[in-house]
Amino acid sequence: MPAYWIAHVEVTDADAYGKYAELAGPAIAKHGGKFLARAGRYVQLEGNDRARNVVVEFASVEDAVTCYNSPEYTEARSHADGASVRDLMVVEGV
């Protein structure tokens, strides 16, 4: 079943977060992730507003979690730590 990596992000340090984004894209692609939405236009209807929203499709929940824990994404994530406030989840599709 497909799975969706969903991130809601508030960037607090654009330079450091830019390095994260530079490294995260290739790491996600290496693990089969396909960006469906990446910081595009959005309308907040409920809950907490975060200006950057990302949706990535993976073949499975396991593939998404493997990507998250991979050395490549861990390196990318080190640049997001302290440069953003993020909520990140993986949701299995139907």
pTM of the model: 0.91
Encode pLDDT of 43-73 as tens digits. 999 998 999 999 999 999 999 999 999 999 9
CA distance 15 to 35: 22
Q: What is the mean pLDDT of residues 28-46?
A: 95
CB 53 within 8 A of CB 10: no
DSSP string, 24-80: HHHHHHHTT-EEEEES------SS---SEEEEEEES-HHHHHHHHHSHHHHHHHHHH
- What are φ and ψ of residue 37, in 5° steps? -150, 140
Domain definitions of the chain by residue range: 3-92
Question: What is the CATH code for 3-92?
Answer: 3.30.70.100
Calculate what percentage of the chain has a pLDDT beyond 70.
100
